[in-house]
Structure 1
Amino acid sequence: MQQILNGITNSVIYSIVGIVILLIAYLIVEKLTPENSWKEIVQNKNIALAIVFAAFIIGIALIISASLHG
């Protein structure tokens, strides 16, 4: 039972760490870009920028996942 609880705890901790790292990476990219990307995607419906940011998020998520998995 203790191993199951340790596994669940580790999964939750690594998930939270991964999400925090992903948000930090997004905020860094948001600061580096000249315009407010979220505003451009939502208000101006810029599909190309949405695709670029989706690819960025997927790429960073894969990197974080691989690094946390070992």
Structure 2
Amino acid sequence: MIANPLLHQLLVAAVFSLLGLAILGLVWLLLVKILPFSLRKEMEDDQNVALGIVLGALILGISLIIAAAIHG
């Protein structure tokens, strides 16, 4: 066990942050695999703003769910 409680809390926060980022990355990869179109082409080449807004909202929603699950 770490003697300094502040250092312990910082370590726990860092671990949970990395865990949350890893889960979010896995969700993003899953999304890329299941969608029937290329996200890169739609957003960069076709300038599909609506898709960008929907994906941004999806990422925010998943992030909130992950944060709530990690926080307890």
* Letter in structure 1 aligned against 2:28: Y
Question: Over aligned residue pairs, what C-alpha RMSD do you find?
Answer: 1.1
Q: Which residue of 1 aligns with 2:45?
A: 43
Distance in structure 2 (CA, Å) of the matches to 1:13 and 1:69: 12
Q: Which amino acid aligns with 1:68?
A: I
TM-score, with normalisation over the residues of structure 2?
0.91
Amino acid in the other structure paired with 1:31: K
Q: Deviations over 1:10-62 (max 9, x none)?
A: 00000000000001001101111011112311221100100110011000000
Aligned residues between the structures: 70
* Structure 2 unaligned residues grouped into runs of 5+: none
Query: Partner letter of residue 42 of structure 1?
Result: E
* 1:8 matched to 2:13: no
Task: Give me the TM-score of the superposition, normalised by structure 1.
Answer: 0.93
Structure 1: stretches of 5+ with no match in the other structure: none
> Corresponding residue for 2:56?
54
Amino acid corresponding to residue 33 of structure 1 in structure 2: L
**Which ranges of 4 or more aligned residues in structure 1 deviate by more than 3 Å?**
none
